[in-house]
Structure 1
């Protein structure tokens, strides 16, 4: 895990990504996407990963609690585009 702390403001943009092990926490304006995996091993690295994960999830929860939330987001709009390789 990198020793440099990455800045992450939940729901602030469509660009920020935090890595914890091989776990990716991707910022979006209306959702946070979590994918991949991380082993929280019983050693100093595992503890560092667990603390960073707890920190990021705490920030996400705090942001959600401060927002006026709908019961459920509507499904994302899906459209088609022309194939640029044809």
Structure 2
């Protein structure tokens, strides 16, 4: 776990931060969180909580500074032929 990860919300499709077993994935139109993390009542739990707090604060700041639509359109799904047939 890094103390100050270089994670700019909505900046790219590549950044992933892990806190415990919780992955925070950067996307251009969304931030995806999956997995789990135990915020234990100790120094390690405090460090993880602070990191999550800072990351989510950054997400909120970006969202508050943007002109947002009511909802994103559904993603376009493209079907491709199976290359193994």
- What's the TM-score bracket when you normalise by the shorter of the two chains? over 0.9
Q: What TM-score comes out, normalization by structure 1 length?
A: 0.94
What is the correspondence of 1:1-80 to structure 2 with a 5 Å cutoff? 2-3=1-2, 5-80=4-79
Alignment partners' CA distance in 1, 2:83 and 2:5? 35
Q: Which runs of 5+ in 2 are unaligned?
A: none
Q: What TM-score comes out, normalization by structure 2 length?
A: 0.96
Report the alpha carbon displacement of residue 66 of structure 1 after superposing the two structures with TM: 0.5
Moved beyond 2 Å, runs of 4+: 2-5
Cα RMSD, aligned residues only: 0.9
The total of aligned residue pairs comes to 85
